[in-house]
Amino acid sequence: MNLTVHRCGSIKRIASLALAVSIALVAPASANTQVYDPQTRTWVDYGRTEAYRYYKKHGQVPEAFRRQIVRFRTAEQPGTIIIDGNQHFLYLVQPGQQAIRYGIGVGRDGFGWAGIVRVGRTAEWPTWTPPAEMVARDPNAAKWAGGQPGGPDNPLGARALYLYEGNQDTIYRIHGTPEPWTMGLDVSSGCIRMNNDDVIDLHSRVQVGAKVIVLMQGAALYKGV
């Protein structure tokens, strides 16, 4: 796999979003996602601070990033996963031209690549082993140099879907997170993160071997897998 870091930080407006309750968000200059506030009828920035406050107040992420059935017309067969890192949605194609749409968090620089991979294997409450460079710079990671056992504090969350190209692990995963408020944000280190409830739901519906399409949008300087 060739990887190229690309610039990010675009204004990502989450269309057809209806926040369940009024929110008062402060717009930071560096926000890269916007959500629609139906009470003020304006698009408001949705950054890390706003996301955290919102989650703390409501106990869930804004409506757009919650798991929901949406109309989704496609030639892809049911069971296929389509990841739109730009809009922070993961679609699981369903019969009848519908999809289950989940909110996702993606890497600080977007996903960084695009193409077609497959679910090579999955794991429940997976062990997380920090990369060597993270061990070197982060004392919190260093203590898990030998692998952090699965559990509620594990960065990979409740489930992991390991993405393969052919029979080779791409090193990318779709996984859960202990930070559920980060859906809709560009925060992780390259993987696709989901709320634990959502990743458990996705894991229960997905077959090993499922086709995964990672879109190019938001990753113009991507390299294919």
Partner 1 sequence: MGGRHGMSWSAKLATALLLFSCSISQANELVIAMPNWFSGRASANILKVALKNEFGLEAKVAEAGTLTAFAGLDAGTVDIHPEVWLPNLDNLVKKYVTDAKTVALSPVGVEAWQGMCATRAAADAGISDIADLNDPKKTAVLDTNDDGRGEIWIGAPAWSSTAIERIRANSYGYGKTVTLLDMQEDVGMAAVDAAAATASPLVFACYAPHAVFKLHDIVRLSEPSYDPAKWNILLPSEDPLWEQSSTAASAWDTARYHIAYATSLRDKHPEVVEFLDRVTFTPEEATEMSYALQVERQDPYDFAKQWVSKNAARIKEWAKP
Residue 215 CB, nearest distance to partner 1 (Å)? Answer: 5
193 phi and psi angles, rounded to 5 deg = -110, 145
Q: What is the 3-state secondary structure (H, E, C) of 11-27?
A: CEECCCCCCCCCCCCCC
Nearer to partner 1, 86 or 148 (CB): 86
Per CB under 8 A, which region of 35-43, 67-75, 163-171, 200-208 contacts partner 1? Answer: 67-75
Closest residue by Cα to residue 106 from 185, 195, 12, 14: 185
- Residue placing its CB nearer to partner 1 in the complex, 39 or 68: 68
Backbone angles phi, psi at 13, to 5 degrees: -90, 125
Task: Identify which of 159, 170, 128, 157 has the alpha carbon closest to the alpha carbon of residue 145.
Answer: 128
CA-nearest of 94, 126, 140, 146 to 199 is: 126
Counting contacts by CB under 8 A, is residue 10 touching partner 1? Answer: yes
Site for partner 1 in 151-190 (CB under 8 A): none
Retrieve residue 115's tokens.
Answer: 């193409």
Q: Kindly state whether residue 71 participates in binding partner 1, applying the rule CB under 8 A.
A: yes
- Which residue from 54, 56, 65 is spatially nearest to 22, judged by alpha carbons? 54
d(CA 158, CA 200): 7
Q: Binding partner 1 by CB under 8 A: which of 9, 147, 149, 151?
A: 9
15 binds partner 1 (CB under 8 A): yes
Active-site residue, 175 included: yes
Stretch that binds partner 1, among 44-52, 76-84, 118-126, 149-157 (CB under 8 A): 76-84
Nearest distance, CB of residue 96 and partner 1, angstroms: 11
Contact between 114 and partner 1 per CB under 8 A: yes
- Least distance to partner 1 from the beta carbon of 146, Å? 37
| SS3 assignment, position 4 | coil
Residue 84: CB minimum distance to partner 1, A: 5
Strand ordering across the sheet containing 42-45: 12-13, 33-37, 42-45
Identify residues 80-109 at the interface with partner 1 (CB under 8 A): 82, 84, 86-87, 89, 91, 99
Please confirm, yes or no, whether 8 is among the known catalytic residues.
no
The catalytic site residues sit at: 175, 191
Residues near partner 1 (CB under 8 A) are 6-12, 15-16, 32, 70-77, 82, 84, 86-87, 89, 91, 99, 110, 114-116, 213-221, 224
